[in-house]
Amino acid sequence: MAEAGEGTGGVATAPRADVTTLMAFGGLVVIGGANAVAVRFSNLELPPFWGAAARFALAAVIFWAILLFRRVALPRGRSLTGSILYGVLSVGASYALLYWGLLKVQATVAVVLLSLGPLVTMLLAVAHRLEPFRLRGLLGSLLAVVGIVVGIGIQFGESVPVPSLLALVAGVVCIAEGSVVYKLFPSATPLPANVVAVTTGAGILVLISLVAGESWFLPSEAATVTAFGYLVVIGTVGLFYLYLVVLSRWTASATSYAFLLFPLATVVIAALFTDERVTWGFVAGAAIALAGVWIGAFSGTAGERARGKHVTTAAESCEPPSPGCA
């Protein structure tokens, strides 16, 4: 079983219930739940792509400073390639889509869509032969889709415009694919991997902002400055470090379980800091969606992994030169 930072080379690592990983997972949930609210504040003053670009550019500077201070080497070879691809998908592409989508979508709605992450990750992991297919996962994903329709279906074209909704879904797919790709390559330790990934993603976001013709400026209003500062230090440096700590120790699907719990944190934080209202229809739909994700992610084989039992994965049982073998 690979330790945090060891190369997994395509083998799906069984989740371990050690204190360090569980604490990292808990921090990931709280930060991820608060991020959607903070991005909404950031979007009130900053253009979306520039807001994302500035956030990740400053986070990259912090990551580089830590790397140089600790004198940690950058990843090389296939580990470098994996870190770059992870940055392209999980930072550059996904955050451009998420920031744009959050311009017209409530944070609570956005995070319920993000809760589909584990199911999307599972399906992509199966497609890459990184993890085995489970019927429970498919049934759970269908139930989750029903929940989304119940929760926000009435609002289509109004408070949840279809283009914004599609952008958020595409962002979820990019995050899921980035996690799977990271596991397919020999993994660098979280710090150097994040240096490469966040720098790569920031460069992509800067280019997108330039093409979009956005104005570049730093926030001036107190609420935006606070939200932006939080997003740079905690919402990016903290979130991405914790995510790779967990991803280095658990499977891609198991790590994405954090998306299940984001809505709970977001609802509490949004109620405290914004005037967002949550209807009973939304609550019912969210409950159905989360139940579907729970069935797909935690029951059956996934439950055995969570309890520490070893389960043979597609990557472990295949023979080279199959696409899923490394």
Tell me the CA end-to-end span of the chain in Å, nearest whole number. Answer: 15
pLDDT at 274: 66
| pLDDT per residue as tens, the chain (326 positions) | 333 333 445 444 445 557 888 899 889 988 988 887 788 788 788 898 999 999 999 999 999 999 999 999 999 999 999 999 999 999 999 999 988 887 887 766 776 777 778 888 988 999 999 888 878 877 877 887 777 667 655 444 455 678 888 999 999 999 999 999 999 998 788 999 999 999 999 999 999 999 999 999 988 888 889 999 999 999 999 999 999 999 888 888 878 878 777 776 776 676 677 666 667 777 787 788 778 777 876 565 444 444 444 444 443 333 333 333 33
The H or E element containing residue 306 is helix 301-306
DSSP tag of 248 = H
What pLDDT shows up at residue 197?
97
The per-residue DSSP string of 156-190 comes to BTTTB-HHHHHHHHHHHHHHHHHHHHHHHSPPPPH
What residue spans of 18-133 are helical by DSSP H? 19-45, 48-70, 77-87, 94-101, 107-114, 117-127
pLDDT at 253: 81
Tokens at 15, concatenated: 């989740």
Q: Can you give the pTM of this predicted structure?
A: 0.76
Q: Rounded to an integer, what distance in angstroms lies between the CA atom of residue 9 and that of residue 232?
A: 31
Residue 105 to residue 251: CA distance in whole angstroms? 30
pLDDT at 326: 34
